Every structure is written in structure tokens, then in C-alpha cells.
Amino acid sequence: MKEGLELKRFRGLRVAREDCESLLKFLRERSLLVKGARFKRDGLWIIVPVERQLKDEEKASLNSSGIKFEDTEDEFEIQEARPSSLHEFLAEKLPPHLLASVPRSYDLIGEIVVLELPEELKEHGKLIGEAAMKINKGARLVLNKISDISGTFRIGGYEVIAGEGPTETVHREHGCVYKLDPTKVFFTPRLSTERVRVASQVRRGETVADLFAGVGPFSILIAKKVQDVKVYSVDKNPSAFKYLVENIKLNHVDEKVSAILGDAAEVAAKNLKGRCSRIIMNLPAGSELFLEAASNALLREGGIVHMHIFVNRYEKVGERISALEERFRRLGWGTVEALNVRIIREVGTRSYHVASDVRLADR
């Protein structure tokens, strides 16, 4: 222990080093990390201090993602507290009515912070951007999202509010590296846990179609984690395709991942028909328009379709999923079962990003 540091006893989670990043992402999303407490190393394990014991459903979620952990208690070093959020950093720099509008969350993509400021904070963008850079020591650029993600290529509008340099960056996640430009392609680190969960389900020897692959975060992670797997990664955005090809090489998965530039429906019908045991449909704003594409790419005996959809907060998730199952039945599948239905995240103030693993058979 360093001289002068206080020791305090907390609950902890003992996790394998290779799973630590995924666990920390999960805990941060739920504000479960003990602020100011340092992690401990125990050989190949890391002990992470947590605010409380995990609930059964939280443990089940981690287990389903393939994250190995153990409950424990231990003494942890407490370091001097420093502002850990934009709210704390800006508490004395903005009046209360404006401070209340400061974003509670943002994305850190490589060296780039991406946030979304409401209209009343636009004139304070430089101040907020500089605060974001000071909190995130590795950040060199802050982007403010000024228009929603939309269109065929799933990109939004952004403006630089702090820092300098190109908008291209390299993002590291679960032992993979992804070169990308968030102003030209869709990418969110908020699906990090979902990517691990899906990859943990893929079995040796499977053929997978990632129909809206983007820069490759699902495809490449699967290729890195699973032996003798073949992944077809499809995207129609030329910029995403360029980065996808480069990322396949950067991660040394050339023999496992094939990049295809094109429309998902056309590729599924012509190139992938009846070849795949598993389909990834990470296009929540439009995946339901491509159910026939997923069906075409699946093996005759069926397989799993990882569906992602947006559900309006005034809709019932169960009803939307039931309607989805019925549409697959109309495509000729005798067995349709939506498994592991879950809300991944809130999107804005009006909808949820919902995912389900749909098992299809008996066509």
C-alpha cells in the first residue's frame, strides 16, 4: 500500500483479467463501482470493489455474457477523489438550471468523446467539451451530436467543440482494435456487453452472417473468440466497408471473416442463401424490413437470428416480439421462439433498444 492511502472494506467481484473490461462496462452502466477505491490484483485475477451485492438477474446477465466472476470481500486502497463526471466538474462553472441539462452519459470512442448537448447548452459547448477532455485523460477531441443517426448509412451530424485533429480514431474493445470515423460510420461502445454475449453463443464450426456489420465489432470479436468459424460481414456504406476491410487485417482474422459490400437483402438471396446457422441483425431502426433476408441466409433446418429493434416506450415489448414471431411464421418457419428478450438501453426519451435471440426451425 502506498503511504498515506486509507484502507476500507467493501464487497468485491473477483474476475479473470481477460473479462475485466466487460465487467467494468457492465458495472459502470449501473453505477455499481465504488468511487475512489483502487482495484486489486491477485495473480491472473482482478478484484473490483462494488457498492452492493449483485442481484440474481444481474448475475444471470453476466453469466449469459460468458463473464466469469466470484463474490468476495476485501480491503481496498482509497485514493483522493477528483471530479469523475461532467456534473461534478462543472458544478461551480454553470448555474443550477443549466447544470441540470448537462448530459449524464456520453461515449468514448478511442480518443474521441461523443456527447449530445441540448439547445440551452450550445453556447457553453467549448466549456463542456474542455471539461470532458479533462475527465477523460486520453481524449484529444470532443464531438457534439447535432442531428440524429438516420439514413441508409446510419450516420449522424457532428460538430467539434473541443480539441483538435482528425475525426478518425482507433477504438479498443475486448482485445480487438477498430479503426473508424464516427462522423462517417455507425459505431457505439454501448453494445460492448451485447457483442460479448452474442460471441459467447457461437459454437465451433458455425457459419455466421452479420448483415449490418458496420466496421466489424460483432464479426471480428466472434472470429477472435471462436475456432473454425466463418463470418460473412455485410454493409452497404462504402466508408464502413473500407474500415471493415482494414479492421479484418488489423485483427488478423482474414481467413475467418469475409467482407461484402452490398445490400443485405440482395447479398442474403444471392451470396448467402441457405449457408448460415446464425444471423446478426444489428439494425434496430430497420431490421424488421429484412426478415426475409435473414430467412434466406439461414440453413434449411434453421438457426438463430439475433434481432435488434426499437420499441416505443408506449408500446408493450411482449406484443412487438409476438408480432415479430408471427412474421417469421408467415415466412414458412414451423418453430419460432424468441429467447432472451431484453432491453439493452434507452434511446433518447421515447424508445428502447430491445434485443432477442430468435430460434427458427422446421421450414
Here the CATH number for the domain that contains residue 101 is 3.30.300.110
Cβ neighbour number for residue 289 with a 10 Å cutoff: 11
Alpha helical stretches, state H, 30-112: 56-64, 86-90, 96-99
Rounded to whole angstroms, what are the CA distances from 18 to 68, 76, 124, 148, 173? Answer: 10, 21, 40, 35, 11
Which residues constitute the domain of residue 51? 6-78
Residues 74 and 12 in one domain: yes
**Domain co-membership, 242 together with 348:** yes
Q: Are strands 112-115 and 107-109 parallel, antiparallel or unpaired?
A: antiparallel
Residue 190 within any structural domain of the chain: yes
Residue for cell digits 428502447?
Answer: 352
Q: Scan for cell 456534473, then name that residue.
A: 87
pLDDT of residue 1: 44
Is 180 part of a structural domain of the chain? no
Query: In the chain, how many H helices and how many E strands?
Result: 11, 17
Q: Which of 78, 113, 132 is the last residue of a domain?
A: 78
Residue 229 covered by a domain? yes
| Residue 53, in any domain of the structure | yes
Look at residue 173 and tell me if it is in a domain. no
At residue 77, the 3 state secondary structure works out as strand
Per the domain annotation, does 176 fall within a domain?
A: no
Q: In the 8-state DSSP scheme, what is residue 247?
A: H
CB atoms within 10 A of CB 276: 26
Q: Which residues pair with 152 in a beta bridge?
A: none
Q: Are 142 and 162 in contact (CB under 8 A)?
A: yes
Question: For the stretch 76-103, what's the b/e string if a residue is b when 16 or more beta carbons lie within 10 angstroms of its beta carbon?
Answer: bbbeeeeeeebeebbeeebeeebeeebb
pLDDT at 345: 87
**What SS3 class is residue 10?**
strand
Asked if 73 and 124 sit in the same domain, the reply is: no
User: What pLDDT is recorded for position 298?
Assistant: 98
Same domain, 223 and 141: no
* 340 in a structural domain: yes
Query: How confident is the prediction along the chain (363 residues), in pLDDT tens digits per residue?
Result: 444 578 889 999 999 988 888 999 899 888 899 988 889 988 889 999 999 999 988 898 898 888 989 999 999 988 766 677 898 889 889 998 999 999 988 999 999 999 999 999 999 999 999 999 999 988 999 999 998 877 777 788 999 999 999 999 999 999 999 999 999 999 999 999 999 999 999 999 999 999 999 999 999 999 999 999 999 999 999 999 999 999 999 999 999 999 999 999 999 999 999 999 999 999 999 999 999 999 999 999 999 999 999 999 888 999 999 999 999 999 999 999 999 999 998 887 778 999 999 999 998
The CATH number covering residue 65 comes to: 3.30.70.2580
The letter for the amino acid at 112 is I
Provide the residue type at 275 as one letter. R
Report how far residue 247's alpha carbon sits from residue 243's, in angstroms, rounded to the nearest whole number. Answer: 6
CA distance 309 to 224: 26
The total number of structural domains in the chain stands at 3
